[in-house]
Structure 1
């Protein structure tokens, strides 16, 4: 607990102390220790027989602790849990914004990559982390998709997390290995239709957006391919470059180096409009497959029960960071678009996404594992 409380809280404490006969209690320095003394004295004097006073004591203690936290947070490094490996889009977004808010707050934000199980390992770790404001999570739509695909998760996406802030969006691009005899999305679909189950595609794991996007493509075009899941999109991209798989849907940012070097061939971006970093690559609709869209969003969450003062401070710092011209330029260069939003806006978006992906899972016939 912090050493000092606000002047307003001290005034309230002084009045209560006088009414209880604690006239000699000195509150001039507004110490949190004295606040606890008053709250404890209320409890002791009434011996749990006067419920209004007990409630007052509890509220007073909460007021003091909240006030103290707001004044001192953060007083130590913050752990940033990232449910995908280094180099993944989630990692890029988390580290980029984490570095900025660390500089603004004057406190370290330490990335902790916990990849595995399609992102659910990191989500589980974040859900069970102490809700003290020093554990935060940056994640993708995986937090909305996982409950739809997995029956025995150790977390509830709505109950076990506190939304903090919306962060960024990244568009997806469908890329194939150069050995695949298809120069357009239509040619790729025709190839898959001619050889059912022979073409394979990689993903960052079951339930990730690149997995569901490929399931959507198969449903729309009535084709069948073989799914090869990896522990993160970074490994899936490596598998594509090496020729281990034929196709992967990747976020534009990590796909760019491979596209520019000719190690993969882009066929379409899965967005409404063309992406400025890939101006010559058509949208899926331009490529002849309307309805084939899948963007990735990223948000910051904390374990449920995290103090509101910490959540508000983190949101304020993120909102401030997303107005910084230098950060915005870095995000643009990496293919990220800023997506600022409040905790309530992120909460509504998460609920809408769970509904949207639930409908998609039913449409493509995905069953819970």
Structure 2
């Protein structure tokens, strides 16, 4: 991963960052962009900027457009925090540019982001690390045209059965995701999925308690924040995620000690297996037998008022841990001192 900015962060980064914490840090938050998740990104950017300003950090929020690179080259901020969601925000491309500009940034490096953002690839790596993940197949849109849609769908149903979850292989916020209960629903689910990307991940549906576990690493190794349990009056889709009322969150999740340990250890294992740094969020389903099924990894977790990472951070603060704003500042200081 050549280059000074890509150099591995060591444990003494916290010590070097501690002196830097006294300085007038300038952080540029990247928010917006042109993905389907632009609005979520803008809201995430505003929330993190407000929190950082509470701790005395000087913050500028920048959109991703033709003016960005000249502005970054001119301003040379101490740290950049990419809070971009969707393909270009999480696939490593923006991070690659920041590395070319030799600008430190919060979050996983470009190579790890590329791997983690590709759902089929991430599933394979966490499975190799010993985690359970639902059986699935990844199929491009072109295959349906070449072989005929019905034949491909029959093969999928014959192997994976029902129910299924169809989702784009990239992207987040449940855009293009459909829960399929019958064979008749599968063609429409594929159409909805391909509206957001050319590669579909078709996965066996797993039932149980939906849990999200955020992980942070401030220099002493990754650790899990309190799990968040998600209960909805329907699918946990885009509307349920970002519009209050349809979803109820339990923070910490209503799990016993063993279940809590299981999901927290799974999230840290996934974070390590994918080579991530600073922060991540793992989405899982805990079934009735106590198995934590890996569903998805988020290298740029949402930071809106209803997002899961801030809720976990708030629960950590309530249990005597670091406050949310202080946690965000610590992530910035770590990046600046790396």
What TM-score, normalized by structure 1, do the two folds share?
Answer: 0.30
Which has the higher Rg, Structure 1 or Structure 2? 1
More helix by share: 1
